[in-house]
Homo-oligomer: A and B are copies of this chain.
Amino acid sequence: MVQRMSQQTLESIAKLAGVSRSTVSRVVNRHPSVSPDVRDRVTQIIKTTGYRPNSAARKLRSNRSQIIGLVFRQNVNVLFADPFFPRLTQGITRVCNESEYSLMLFVEGNEDKLFDLTSGRGMFDGLIVQTVSIHDSLIPRLLRRQIPVVVSGRPAQDIRATYVDADNENGAYLAVRHLLKLGRRKISVITGEMTSTSSIDRLDGYKRALREFDIPYDKRLVHESDYLMEGGYQATSVLIKQNPDAIFAFSDTMARGALRALADRGISVPEQISVIGFDDLPPATNERPMLTTVRQPVRQAGQKLVELLLNKISNGSHSTEQVIFDTELIVRETCGGAA
């Protein structure tokens, strides 16, 4: 007669199998020194009883949970609206599934709550944290706690962390230079929140290209937005009053919004206004007009993040590492003229 399923322990399984707790533990953890017959008997009992190790106990004892946390601080709307995040998540889950690690996602919680959850030793072997604002203090707090953390996106200057990022500055530079070469002179920009390093870096690239062509920086051509399609639409409605001959949006999603706003006003792309986006994630490929954009290898970034984190976990190293992926201009229909 088998016990109630819900309360099995190593001890109860041991009793059922007529062996000691340690032996059962060995079987569960695939330790080699267990005789085949004992192993089979125990395995059988585990199966019929449906025994599962108590993860809290396991963690408490071994100090490993085999779980890594993925923290997205972004608003849920943005998180799901922008194809960036699923891509990144895919890269991450792929490596996790190959390894013995499982992934747990955190969305939208205030910083303190999140810190409590993630910093308590006993929960995660390590964390991947997506940067949000340079004013955010979650990352420095976690680092101070000596929790293995890798950061997705460059964190604020004063934070020494291992991170993975795309070369945002150069990507933006390439895009704007391309527009300038095509003869565009009033290039407006739709940025993300300017507290994020990606927007800061991209705007730097924009400025560098302008300097190279001796064009003064005009901040009336720069509109801060939110990475949402609707935001791109509205930003365009405002920027259009400056009569720009190009729009460079810091995400494909916002570029889509811009295209729609232009279409609604009967402004032709690329004849009257060129448009370039940033990301080059799937929708950029199959919507029309096909979007010229800056490609960043998001999935690879996700994979790299996990690799770095797993290294950090196993080495216990306190060193820091930065991986910057190249970005690349993908010329399609919305900017006019080939590279």
Instruction: Name A's B-contacting residues (CB within 8 A).
Output: 5-6, 50, 52-60, 65, 67, 76-77, 79-81, 83, 85-86, 89-90, 93, 97, 102-110, 113, 116-117, 119-123, 144-146, 229-230, 283, 286
- Least CB distance, A330 to chain B, in whole angstroms: 19
Query: Which residues in B have their C-beta under 8 angstroms from that of A145?
Result: 5-6, 50
A60 touching B54 in the complex, CB below 8 Å, given contacts A6-B146, A93-B108: yes
Q: Would you call A116 and B52 a contact (CB within 8 A)?
A: yes
Nearest opposing residue in chain B for A80, CB measure: B86
Q: Would you call A86 and B81 a contact (CB within 8 A)?
A: yes
Q: Would you call A105 and B104 a contact (CB within 8 A)?
A: yes
Q: Would you call A86 and B79 a contact (CB within 8 A)?
A: yes
- Least CB distance, A300 to chain B, in whole angstroms: 16
Nearest opposing residue in chain B for A117, CB measure: B102
Q: Would you call A85 and B80 a contact (CB within 8 A)?
A: yes
Query: Which residues in B have their C-beta under 8 angstroms from that of A56?
Result: 55-57, 59-60, 65, 120-123
Contact of A93 among B76, B85, B104, B123 (CB under 8 A): B76
Most B CB contacts (10 A, CB to CB) among A52, A55, A106 go to A55
Query: Which residues in B have their C-beta under 8 angstroms from that of A55?
Result: 56, 117, 120-123
Q: Would you call A77 and B86 a contact (CB within 8 A)?
A: yes
Instruction: Give 6 pairs: A residue, B residue, CB < 8 Å, sorted on A.
Output: A52-B119, A53-B120, A56-B56, A93-B109, A103-B107, A105-B107
